Structure 1
């Protein structure tokens, strides 16, 4: 962490477990923005930037596109108490329904993985 409370991309990558390449790609796409730059042009990230990275990482298992991830992250950040209120009703409903459907699918996949693990465990 630098004196002003920001961190370089390497520290953000280490803290979040995301690769430097992914962070740079997300920045180029506008999914996550560096809060600033050093005089030499290196990206500087804040605690808020780290929280956004973590938020997006928590959404990745749902399989949304990068554009959908950005839309959802923006909505959650805009109204933390009522995350989807920043979206039109139809879009908010779609996200709620789609997240539930995808979560159920992930749960079934986890159950299948648990069953397989049980089958291969020694008796």
Structure 2
């Protein structure tokens, strides 16, 4: 993976997160800059950007910071390259599967909400069309 370091502004642009949000995620322990420049600026790698993208994708699905942390800890452990006992690997994979199921359920709920919102907007458009015809 690319180990080039990026400053927070570039990371904010790439992730479409604000500087304030990235700093908040750092303060809550969800992401830690990989390094600091001599001037003390936060420096991030592609791995840090990928981590922030996981967080960004979880947020609109209603996951809490604690849930984000739990999932990231599980995926960090699975990706660490460390030798895992079969039971631990199964437990970690089960945890990730549970988040996948939860995300899928939330996506289904959002699709239903979107469909209802589209129906409502279409009904309003029809009403306006009918009112325009009557007033002509």
The 5 Å alignment of 1:1-123 reads 5-79=4-78, 85=90, 87=92, 89=94, 91=95, 94-121=98-125
> Per-residue deviation at 1:86?
5.3
8 A Cα contact 1:62 1:99, kept in partner:
yes
| Larger relative contact order, structure 1 or 2 (CA cutoff 8 Å, min sep 6) | 2
Aligned equivalents of 1:19, 1:54: Cα separation in 2: 13
- Offset, 1:97: 4.3
Q: TM-score if structure 2 supplies the norm length?
A: 0.71
- Choose between structure 1 and 2: higher helix proportion: 2
> CA contact under 8 A between 2:75 and 2:96: conserved in structure 1?
no
RMSD: 2.5
Distance of aligned partners of 1:86 and 1:30 in 2 relative to their CA distance in 1, 3 Å threshold: farther
Larger radius of gyration: 2
Unpaired runs of 5+ residues, structure 1, are none
Moved over 6 A (4+): none
CA distance in 2, matches of 1:6, 1:88: 31
- Paired residue total: 116
